[in-house]
Homo-oligomer: A and B are copies of this chain.
Amino acid sequence: MSKKIVIIGGVAAGPKTACRAKRLLPDAEVTIIDQDSLISYGGCGIPYYVSGDVSDEKELRNTSFHMTRDESFFLNAKGVKVRANTRALAIDRQKKTVAVEDVNTGAKDNVPYDQLVIATGSRPNILPIPGAELDGVFTISDLHKAITIKERIAKGEVSKVVVIGGGAIGIEMAEAFADLWGLETTIIEFMPQLMPRLVDRPFALMLEHHLREHGVAVHTGEGASAIEADATGKACRVITPKRTLEADLVIMAAGVRARSELAAAAGLAVSQMGNIMVNDRLQTSDPNIYAAGDCIEVRNILTGKGTIAPMGSLANREGRIVGDNLAGIPTTYKGWIGSFVMKAFERCIGATGLSLETARAEGFNADAVFTAQSDRAHFFPTQAVIPLRLVFDKTTRRVLGAQGFGPANDAVLARIDAAAAIIANNGTIDDIGQLEMAYAPPFATALDALNAAGNVADNLASGRLRYVSVEDFLGWMDDFASHGDWLALDIRHPNEAEAFVNKYQEKWLSLPYIEIRRRYQELPKDKTMLLICDAGTRSYEIQTFLDGVGYRNTLVLGGGFNIMRRLGVNWWPAS
């Protein structure tokens, strides 16, 4: 008799598991159960469907060869039976059955299994605030809601949108509303910055500035305290402690949590946070039951800690691993590191591993360098500066993370993926510096921007570079007067420095890079001189020179003004 494999959940991890298992075990009877009518869609594509980049929701459910991944496709093409519109009610581990209910007819039956896979995913957090349940308040959790949102916009029912939550989904949705549809869009984020924990504050600020440039209002450090309805009972405004925002549409994108009720009710081990516990073969506490995707707790390779990692990319990797183990191939999952990339209008932001803030919170002896090199040869017409931050452990030189910000092409992706490969292997900043990245002027610089970041990290770790972080510098500039113990030494061209000298007077010295070896004796020795250039590289050179002539009172601003001009700071002189 053929083995019965039952999979609960029909998006990402579930279908991947099913197809891999069926290929490895052609004789097995593989069944996917899902309570929804739509399955196996690209949920990460929802913002692009809403924006109109993807014209039809079917495209999110299609294969690359233009077939729709519905029940009949899975049966005919994959040999996998799909029971859509079928809710799993309970798992009987003794009898090895799943009690299910047809969501349309209410008919119930029991589905027997030899091996079971739980791929129930996550559900969006609903904030415990008044009005969260109103019509017009949506989470981005399934394709049906996305279709409704797009219909309302297309019908002209929406002119103002408030997005609650400044993570990736909230920002991608904000772009969708503001870019193609031209809706008045506001993001509110409870934490003090966008993309909290994912990126450090300077990256969040560069992103925020760019969103503002494209007309998206952003309020950080500001949560929604209530959503209010109009006379028809539809959501019409969002209240925060600081303001009232009108809204025809409210998106609640405040994170997700694992859907693990079925697993917990069946007595499977579930974490305090509600995540399904699995071993490195993604097996639950019942050896006949596996789990994959957003609902499981997986180990972060860097911290060693278990959390959910709700990403479609990981769900697919995990699905393959479960498929292998169902077929007796002992593939293990090494854990995750946290790679991501996101488009926001004309920019791309990406990261892998830990941010500096997170790394320090996790107890690493962490430091970071900030660079702002070109993505391709500086003489190549399409070149752009891509700010990169490399986070590392000063004791071990191990790379802990990388963050990048650049144009909406693949330049940041290339550096993030390369860094991810090194991080996954416990590589060091020296591995980053020496990594042999491909070079030609249209694609990179002879020493790639990522290599350069590795080399700067080496200079820092070896004690040759003294710097002020962008975070600290911003604080100093916010309150320039009260930090009277320093002054800026602007080594850019005098034309570039002029407006700053005019504004900040004796606190802003201009002495061009090219003249310092000749004129350094004009400089003060009794105050900290903060070296200002565009990328930080000239500043480092000048620091080493001044050190050599006894002026050890300098600090380098990593990434220099290439970073500052991307932040939209209010202390910038009017031009």
**A352 lies within 8 A of B438 (CB):** yes
**Distance of A492 Cα from B63 Cα, bound (Å):** 13
Task: Digitize A307-337: 1 where CB-to-B-CB distance is under 8 Å, 0 elsewhere.
Answer: 0000111111100100000000100011011
**B514 lies within 8 A of A439 (CB):** no
- When distances are taken between beta carbons in the complex, the residues of chain B under 8 Å from A76 are 514-515, 517-518
**A341 lies within 8 A of B418 (CB):** no
A422 at the interface (CB under 8 A from B): yes
Instruction: State how many copies of this chain the complex holds.
Output: 2
**Distance of A78 Cα from B54 Cα, bound (Å):** 52
- When distances are taken between beta carbons in the complex, the residues of chain B under 8 Å from A439 are 44, 311-313, 339-341
A114 at the interface (CB under 8 A from B): no
A535 at the interface (CB under 8 A from B): yes
A489 at the interface (CB under 8 A from B): no
**A379 lies within 8 A of B48 (CB):** yes
**B379 lies within 8 A of A42 (CB):** yes
Q: Tell which of A133-141, A203-211, A258-266, A427-435 binds the partner.
A: A427-435
B12, B42, B422: the one contacting A377 at CB < 8 Å is B42
**B440 lies within 8 A of A341 (CB):** yes
**Distance of A439 Cα from B26 Cα, bound (Å):** 31
Query: Which chain A residues (409-427) contact chain B, with CB distance < 8 Å?
Result: 409-411, 413-418, 420-422, 424-425, 427
- When distances are taken between beta carbons in the complex, the residues of chain B under 8 Å from A131 are none
A23 at the interface (CB under 8 A from B): yes
**B440 lies within 8 A of A380 (CB):** no
- Given the interface pairs A420-B436, A435-B424, A455-B320, the reply to whether A541 lies near B379 with Cβ below 8 Å is no
**Distance of A311 Cα from B416 Cα, bound (Å):** 24
Contact residues on A (Cβ < 8 Å of other chain), bracket: 35 or more
**Distance of A334 Cα from B16 Cα, bound (Å):** 39
**B380 lies within 8 A of A53 (CB):** yes
Query: Which chain A residues (1-54) contact chain B, with CB distance < 8 Å?
Result: 12, 16, 19, 23-24, 26-27, 42, 44-45, 48, 53-54
Q: How far is the CB of A194 from chain B (nearest CB, A)?
A: 16
Task: Digitize A522-555: 1 where CB-to-B-CB distance is under 8 Å, 0 elsewhere.
Answer: 0000000000011100101100110111000000
**B312 lies within 8 A of A446 (CB):** yes
- When distances are taken between beta carbons in the complex, the residues of chain B under 8 Å from A441 are 42, 44-45, 48
**B60 lies within 8 A of A514 (CB):** no
**Distance of A215 Cα from B148 Cα, bound (Å):** 50
A559 at the interface (CB under 8 A from B): no
**Distance of A65 Cα from B537 Cα, bound (Å):** 11
A75 — nearest CB in chain B belongs to which residue? B517
A27 — nearest CB in chain B belongs to which residue? B548
Q: How far is the CB of A172 from chain B (nearest CB, A)?
A: 8
A518 — nearest CB in chain B belongs to which residue? B76
B381, B411, B438: the one contacting A340 at CB < 8 Å is B438
- When distances are taken between beta carbons in the complex, the residues of chain B under 8 Å from A19 are 541
A123 at the interface (CB under 8 A from B): no
**A337 lies within 8 A of B436 (CB):** yes
A442 at the interface (CB under 8 A from B): yes
**Distance of A514 Cα from B76 Cα, bound (Å):** 6
**B417 lies within 8 A of A343 (CB):** no
A89 at the interface (CB under 8 A from B): no
- When distances are taken between beta carbons in the complex, the residues of chain B under 8 Å from A436 are 313-314, 317, 336-339, 352, 420, 424
Interchain residue pairs with CB less than 8 A apart (29): A42-B446, A44-B446, A60-B379, A64-B378, A65-B533, A76-B514, A77-B517, A79-B517, A312-B439, A313-B437, A317-B451, A320-B455, A339-B436, A339-B439, A340-B439, A342-B440, A348-B442, A375-B410, A409-B410, A410-B413, A410-B414, A413-B438, A413-B443, A418-B418, A420-B438, A421-B422, A421-B435, A422-B425, A424-B431
Give me the 3 closest cross-chain CB pairs, A-B, nearest first: A26-B548, A421-B421, A410-B410
Additional 10 contacts, C-beta under 8 A, given A26-B544, A44-B439, A65-B493: A45-B379, A54-B381, A64-B535, A76-B514, A172-B440, A316-B447, A334-B434, A337-B436, A342-B440, A410-B410
